[in-house]
A = this chain, B = another copy of it.
Amino acid sequence: MAARSIGIGLMGLGVIGSGVVKVLMGKPETLAREAGSRLVLKKVLEQDSTKHGSMGLEPELFTTQFAELVNHPEVDIVVELIGGEHPAFEYIKEALAHGKHVVTANKEVMAKHWSQLLAVAHQHQVSLRCEASVGGGIPLIAPFQEDLVANDISAIYGILNGTTNYILTQMAKEGLDFSVALKQAQELGYAEANPANDIEGIDAAYKLAILTTIAFGTEVGPENIYHEGISRLQARDFRYAQELGYAIKLLAIAKRAGDSIEARVHPVFIPEDSLLAKVDGVYNAIHVEGDLVGKVIFYGQGAGPSATSSAIVADIINIAQNINRGTSSAPKLPFASERTIKPMAEIETRYYVRMSVADRPGVLAQISKILGDHSISISSVIQKEADPSTQIAEIMIMTHPANEQEVQQALKEAEQLPVVKEISNFVRVEA
């Protein structure tokens, strides 16, 4: 056992921060055995003074001044759990520049500033770890960097946001409308009062940026990732999906072909017998494809203080082990290979389209012609009997693989047809 303990400076005593403190205080012997030293909380940065009495922590541990934490000589590892971009980014950067190792769960900062932070960590020969930023406690980043390192990764398909997966599960199982399912998720604490980051796919895009950067060795920022939320989905889309043998999930998708990468987050029809289709409620799952390993899936809780602490404390222990071995765990300067991001207009996939049309002969012929003109071929069609009062019928079309831009253009043209009342929804399909 090493002579001295390893000092932790914790920034942010919210739900996750409190979870980490509980683990550090709750099983010190287990952690010391694994780390090779005792892990001791030396400073807690927290603006809310009502928290100072909490968790049985000594009041002297608390500070409201970042400088006091980052300059503390016994703080070896800074754990950033403030969340949000600012001031977390600046704090992490400054901590690295002060020669502190950093562990963070901050997906927004890592997605937007990874390459810059890695350069600072490299320059000061300290570690920067962020396992908890994607998939909560599910081991993901280390497996990519270590276990799957001999593979060329060709694709990632992830259910990376528990809030939206809960809402979609309720819509599918209970036939709820989006707004009802969202309200339910909010009442249960699974969705925030302002749910935009989750339901618009922004949170999943941050996480996909991190996974893609690691898996493909090229920095992919959130600005490179198309994202589309789940609010347009209606209960009837789930009924039709089931009829056609599909589930609807919000997927984060990244694919690589040669030097070209595509990365996008949007609702997707996936075959109902695929394992990802069975991932219900707030769980996350990530399907990875590598040239050697084939298909691998990781599944678990993507959020929550306990699962997230599992990843954060594992990162802390990893750094402590390296400190005790006298090894640098500073990152290699990364992202060597230059790749291009494929614009959304160029992607190719299958599509489900739902539209309202006049119940008249020849309607399907007119629509098929437009699709055909754009090289879009139809794989199946369901037409429901028209509502007798309105004489409006609903048609669902599933296409064979087609080009995104052509599909968008064709739908615009179809919408101009006098017989088409509305393009109600369209959802991409992955096999």
A30 touches B293 (CB 8 A): no
Chain A contact residues (Cβ within 8 angstroms of B): what range? Answer: 35 or more
When the two chains form the complex, which single residue of B148, B301, B314, B317 contacts A139, counting CB atoms closer than 8 Å?
Answer: B148
Which of A139, A290, A291, A292 is most buried by chain B, counting CB atoms within 10 A of its CB?
A292
What is the bound-complex CA distance between A406 and B295, given in angstroms? 43
A275 touches B299 (CB 8 A): yes
What is the bound-complex CA distance between A151 and B33, given in angstroms? 12
Question: CB-CB < 8 A to A293: which residues of B?
Answer: 137-138, 300-301, 306-307, 310-311
- Cβ of A23 under 8 Å from chain B: yes
What is the bound-complex CA distance between A273 and B142, given in angstroms? 30
A301 touches B297 (CB 8 A): no
Give A272 Cβ to nearest chain B Cβ, in Å: 11
- Cβ of A294 under 8 Å from chain B: yes
Q: Known contacts A275-B299, A293-B300; is A150 also within 8 Å of B317 by CB? A: yes
Question: CB-CB < 8 A to A306: which residues of B?
Answer: 291-294
What is the bound-complex CA distance between A325 and B297, given in angstroms? 31
Give A179 Cβ to nearest chain B Cβ, in Å: 28
Q: Known contacts A301-B293, A328-B325; is A313 also within 8 Å of B150 by CB? A: yes
- Cβ of A60 under 8 Å from chain B: no
B139 touches A147 (CB 8 A): yes
Question: CB-CB < 8 A to A311: which residues of B?
Answer: 147, 293
B300 touches A297 (CB 8 A): yes
- Cβ of A413 under 8 Å from chain B: no
When the two chains form the complex, which single residue of B138, B325, B336 contacts A296, counting CB atoms closer than 8 Å?
Answer: B138
When the two chains form the complex, which single residue of B23, B290, B296 contacts A150, counting CB atoms closer than 8 Å?
Answer: B23
What is the bound-complex CA distance between A152 and B295, given in angstroms? 28
What is the bound-complex CA distance between A150 and B137, given in angstroms? 11
Which of A23, A138, A146, A297 is most buried by chain B, counting CB atoms within 10 A of its CB?
A146
- Cβ of A309 under 8 Å from chain B: yes
What is the bound-complex CA distance between A31 and B278, given in angstroms? 36
- Cβ of A143 under 8 Å from chain B: yes
A292 touches B149 (CB 8 A): no
Question: CB-CB < 8 A to A31: which residues of B?
Answer: 150
- Cβ of A76 under 8 Å from chain B: no
- Cβ of A223 under 8 Å from chain B: no
What is the bound-complex CA distance between A336 and B32, given in angstroms? 14
- Cβ of A389 under 8 Å from chain B: no
Interface code A269-297, partner B: CB below 8 Å = 1, 0 otherwise?
00001010011000000000011111111
What is the bound-complex CA distance between A119 and B372, given in angstroms? 70
- What are the 10 A-B residue pairs with the smallest beta carbon separation, nearest first? A139-B147, A137-B293, A292-B310, A150-B313, A296-B300, A297-B299, A293-B310, A139-B143, A327-B327, A294-B301
Q: A148-B314, A293-B310, A297-B298 are in contact. List 19 more A-B contacts (CB 8 A).
A: A23-B150, A27-B150, A30-B152, A131-B147, A139-B296, A148-B310, A150-B309, A151-B310, A275-B299, A291-B306, A292-B307, A293-B306, A294-B301, A294-B306, A294-B307, A296-B298, A296-B299, A298-B298, A299-B299
